[in-house]
Structure formats: C-alpha cells, structure tokens
C-alpha cells in the first residue's frame, strides 16, 4: 500500500510538473514582454515616461500607479541585469535599457522632494512622477529600502562591467550613484521607515535585510575599485544590521515578525521576499541571514502560508499540506484584501532556492525549528541530516518540489488567457483585480521561473558571517543609542485628512510640517507610529493635521517626553 501511495503521489507530481512546465513556457515570454512594455520611453504601455523609468503599472485610476517607485524599479532592473550579465538575454537593446536606467536613477537622486534633498534624506522618497519630477502629495514616507535595492542592482551590473574591462565608466558614472545609496543606508538604517507595503511606519524586516546585503556587497565593490574611504563604515553598520536582523525572529511561534509596529500579527510576505532577495547560493542554509533553506526561513514560510488557508474562499477545500493562494498579510483589506501574484510566486521561489541548495550540497538538515515544515510532507520524519542518497531525502525533496510547483499552478489557474498579470486576483473567484499589468508581478514570474530552472546568479558575501556579541544601534549619522517610542493619539478626522507628528529632534523632522511623520490609522480613531528616538533625552513634539495641503497644528503647549536610557515606551495622547 505504501509503495502504491508513493507511486500515485509521484504520478500526480509528474502531471503537476508538466502542467507547470507548460505555464512557464508560455508565461515566461509574456512576463518578459510585460516588464519591457512598462519601461520608458519606448515601452508600449509607458508612453510619456522618461528613458529608463519603470512605470509601476499603466493603471491611472483605482488605483493610480502611474508613478515610478525606487523599490519596484530596482527589483525589476535587478532581474533584467541578472538576465543580461548571465547571458540569458545578451541583446544590445537590453544593455541600452540598463544604461538608460542608470542615467534615470542618477537624475532622480538629485531631485528635491518631500523627504529632502540628496544630502538631507531625499533618497528615502518612495516614488516619483514618470517624468522624473517629484511627487509632492501625501504619502507614506520615507521608505528606506529603495536605496539599498538600487545599490544592489547597480553593483551587479558594475561587477559585470569590471569583468569586461569597463573600469572607467564604473568609477565615473556608476560608483557615485551607488555611493550615494550606501551612504544613505549608513546614515539612516536605524531610523523608522514605512514598510514595503507603505502602511506601517516602524522598523521592517525586509528593509533591514536588504540594507544589510547592500552594505556587505557595497564594501566589497568599493574595495575592488579602490574607493576605500567609506568601507569601514559600511562594514561596521552591516554588522549592526545583521545583529538587528536577528531581533525579528519570534522563537515562540516560529516565524519572522515582519515589522516592529503596526498592530498586526507580523505574518507577512515581506519576510519571504526578504529571503529570496538576499539569497546567496554559496551561503547554504545559513540562518543568521535567513537563507531560503534555513530552518528559520522554512518555519516562517509554513506559518505564513498557513495563515491564508482559511482567509480566502478560493483556498477552501485545499489539503493542509498543499499550495494555496497567498497575499501580503492575512489582515489585509487593501482593494478588498486579495491574493497577490507576486507573493504567491515568492513562496515558490523560496522553495526552489532551497531545493537548489540541498541538491548542490548533497543533503538537507531538519532541526527542531524546521521540523513542522518537513512533517507536512512526511509525518514520521525526525530531526537530523539526510544525505541525497537516502530515501527520506528523496521523499522530502520530491514532495517539496510538488509543493513549490503548486504555488505556480495556483497563479497559472488565475492568470487570464492573455497572460496578463495584475497586482491581485479575487479572494472569492480568482479574477484579476486592482492594478493591471503590474511590472513587479511580471518580474516576480521571471525570478521564480529562473529559480525553478536552477539558474545561478552571483552571491553577495553572506558566507561565514557571524552575529556580533555586542551590537550597537548607532547609525552613521552621529546619533547615540536610541529607544523605540510609540506615539498613540486619539483624533477624529474627516475624509482625506491625516495625522502627523513632528518635534524637536532629527528623528521627528525638527519641527518641519513638510517632513512630519505620518501616523497609521489602522486602529482609528487612534493614530499610531513607532519612532526610534535618542535615549535619555528631553524631547518636545506636536501632532498636526493635513488635508489637501492645509496644515493644522494642535494647540499649545508642546507635548513633552524624556526618553529612558534603554527599552521602549508608549505615549498615549488626545488631540488638543
């Protein structure tokens, strides 16, 4: 009976794999064309965008994504640069597009915007108009992942250029852009940031992880081209980031808490996206950098996936160890709170990455942390190391491959006949919803498909890193130790009105109403934000209202707080 069951499961896996093969074969070229169509100036759906500018989506209403985001653009071009530098697509047209992206980002770095200028924090501005001018409307700013992701994309290109003898252009054109981004990370890594979903202002696992990667590879790249003046600051803050990265792990529940604030469970695609975008094949299953096959990353994947099993109607009736549609986080309500193509692809990509590493090292390791993940596929498995020659290894990896393919098959099931990938698909019937032709959706398909093919891309220096025994929260901005302060204010608002905070220190924007920090209304009428403030410091602050450009300060006197020497504190206020 057992042999029959194994054979039956193997047959089902073969059928599924063939189905996914077919989808990858047809959707891959569509996804590539979808990416290129959204890049100016010649993309068929990017008319009016400047050269090298990535339009998030052609959608201009409900939602309006006719902007260029630093984060999205950098992830998209990282996938294109990977294709070019590995010879998957070595066409001159792609090379020209990459060069246009470099120039576009150099221009955007110089644009004064609501987050500041190049030297006062402006690189944290999340999005710009497609003509490279500043977007000045209300938004969740700053978002500190963009500079790190842009640096990573450009370093990948720079390393290829160096290996092909183009040193002068790297040092004269590419390095100044990269250096701006790395210096931004050094200065601002330990200050609060809106997460990649632009909703929670605290500290974010995804941001911390990609900042750590950028500084590690940035230090190596700077050394390679002889620009060593800032290398020590890069390596120092990289060590602090690696230390901070460990604090997101929730050992009791076995998952990575995505954000330090926000009032949600913390189960979030943010964490899987961090794992796949900081994947270093040579680092094996390292848990300190949360590599895809590490016990912590696998435990986290299971908790994340399981959180969606009962959330969406389209997941009803699916076995508890089979693939389901996943979204940003289970509490999501944006555009109805639906599954996303890119998050569902991300699950598959992490699993493919894990399978590729196990195959390369010839074994897999089950720990007490990852045991629940592996027991989904073999209830009798126990902690231990299983060589590739063992039956247990074959059983587990075959089942996990089918599991990974299942997530691609979910997306295939809900991809329309023309292959177009929107941002989301309906939780009730799977029809595409929200922004059409989302560039990031298409790029996520490309990277997942390459992972399934075991395409090898360059690592970034994650091998052999150890967490420092003593960690500092000091940034490169000259500040001392900080403490997390949560500000809650009870404030009734009208439609279109938001609550902000500013105050007497840099972290509260030095009384600037233009750069004041937006609070979250997730628990309305309580508005909240968590900010890292200087420890043992007397600080004054006020809340302000903004509505279509109109600014209203709360009445005098100023609020005040003296921060403790360590730990965290919460201030509960009522609008005056």
Encoded tokens for 88: 């998957």
Active site residue ranges: 195, 198
Encoded tokens for 69: 């985001």
Q: Are 336 and 426 within 8 A, CB to CB?
A: yes
Helix residue ranges, H only, 135-268: 146-163, 167-169, 175-188, 205-224, 231-246
Encoded tokens for 75: 């992830």
Rounded to 5 degrees, φ, ψ at 341 are -60, -45
Q: Are 463 and 282 within 8 A, CB to CB?
A: yes
Q: Which of 250, 249, 205, 207 is nearest to 70 (CA)?
A: 207
Q: Are 446 and 35 within 8 A, CB to CB?
A: yes
Residue 274: Cβ-neighbour burial (10 angstroms; 0-12, 13-18, 19+): buried
Binding residues: 139
CA distance 222 to 461: 14
Buried b (16+ CB within 10 A) or exposed e, 151-182: bbbbbbbbbbbbeeeeeeebeebbbebbbbbb
CA distance 51 to 130: 9
Encoded tokens for 433: 């919803």
Residue 107: Cβ-neighbour burial (10 angstroms; 0-12, 13-18, 19+): middle
Q: Which of 533, 526, 523, 525 is nearest to 569 (CA)?
A: 533
DSSP 164: T
Cα-to-chain-centroid distance, residue 394: 32
The helix/strand count (H/E) of the chain reads as 14, 19
CA distance 246 to 239: 11
Residue 429: Cβ-neighbour burial (10 angstroms; 0-12, 13-18, 19+): exposed
Phi-psi region of 146 (alpha: psi -120 to 50; beta: other; left: phi over 0): alpha
Binding residues for substrate: 139
Encoded tokens for 171: 């040092």
């Amino acid at each position: 009976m057992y042999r029959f069951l194994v054979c039956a499961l193997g047959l089902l896996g073969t059928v599924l794999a063939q189905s996914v093969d077919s989808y990858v074969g047809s959707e891959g070229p569509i996804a590539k064309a979808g990416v290129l169509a959204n890049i100016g100036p010649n993309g068929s759906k990017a008319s009016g965008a400047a050269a090298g500018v990535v339009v998030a989506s052609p959608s201009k209403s409900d939602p309006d994504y006719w902007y260029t985001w630093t984060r999205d653009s950098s992830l998209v071009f990282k996938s294109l640069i990977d294709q070019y530098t590995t010879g998957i697509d070595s066409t001159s047209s792609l090379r020209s597009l990459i060069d246009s992206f470099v120039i576009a980002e150099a221009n955007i770095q110089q644009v004064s915007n609501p987050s500041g200028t190049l030297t006062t924090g402006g690189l944290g501005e999340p999005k710009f108009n497609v003509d490279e001018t500043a977007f000045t409307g209300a938004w969740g700013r700053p978002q500190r992942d963009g500079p790190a992701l842009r640096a990573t994309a450009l370093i990948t290109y720079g390393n290829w250029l160096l290996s092909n003898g183009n040193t002068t252009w790297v040092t004269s054109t590419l390095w100044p852009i990269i250096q701006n981004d790395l210096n931004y990370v050094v200065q601002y890594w330990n200050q609060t940031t809106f997460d990649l979903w632009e909703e929670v202002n605290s500290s974010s696992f995804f941001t911390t992880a990609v900042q750590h990667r950028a500084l590690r590879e940035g230090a190596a790249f700077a050394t390679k081209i002889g620009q060593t003046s800032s290398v020590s600051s890069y390596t120092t803050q990289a060590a602090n980031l690696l230390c901070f990265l460990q604090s997101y792990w929730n050992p009791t529940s076995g998952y990575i808490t995505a954000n330090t604030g926000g009032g949600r469970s913390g189960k979030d695609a943010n964490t899987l996206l961090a794992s796949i975008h900081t994947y270093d094949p040579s680092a094996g299953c390292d848990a300190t950098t949360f590599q895809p096959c590490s016990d912590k990353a696998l435990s986290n994947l299971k908790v994340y996936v399981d959180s969606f099993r009962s959330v969406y109607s389209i997941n009803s009736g699916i076995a508890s160890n089979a693939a389901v549609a996943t979204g940003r986080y289970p509490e999501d309500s944006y555009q109805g709170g639906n599954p996303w193509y890119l998050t569902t692809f991300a699950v598959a990509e992490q699993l493919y990455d894990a399978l590729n590493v196990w195959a390369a090292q010839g074994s897999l390791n089950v720990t007490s942390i990852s045991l629940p993940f592996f027991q989904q596929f073999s209830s009798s498995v126990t902690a231990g190391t299983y060589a590739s020659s063992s039956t247990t290894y074959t059983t587990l990896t075959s089942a996990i491959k089918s599991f990974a393919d299942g997530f691609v098959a979910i997306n295939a099931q809900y991809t329309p006949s023309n292959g177009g990938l929107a941002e989301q698909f309906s939780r009730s019937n799977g029809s595409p919803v929200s922004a059409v032709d989302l560039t990031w959706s298409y790029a996520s398909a490309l990277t997942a498909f390459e992972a399934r093919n075991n395409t090898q891309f360059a690592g970034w220096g994650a091998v052999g890193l150890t967490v420092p025994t003593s960690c500092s929260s000091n940034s490169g901005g000259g500040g001392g130790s900080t403490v997390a302060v949560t500000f809650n204010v009870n404030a009734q608002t009208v439609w279109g009105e938001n609550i902000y905070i500013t105050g007497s220190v840099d972290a509260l924007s030095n009384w600037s109403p233009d750069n004041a920090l937006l609070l979250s209304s997730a628990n309305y009428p309580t508005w909240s934000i968590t900010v890292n403030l200087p420890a043992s410091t007397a600080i004054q602050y006020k809340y302000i209202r903004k509505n279509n450009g109109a600014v209203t300060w709360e009445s005098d006197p100023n609020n005040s707080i003296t921060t403790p020497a360590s730990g965290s504190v919460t201030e509960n206020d009522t609008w005056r």
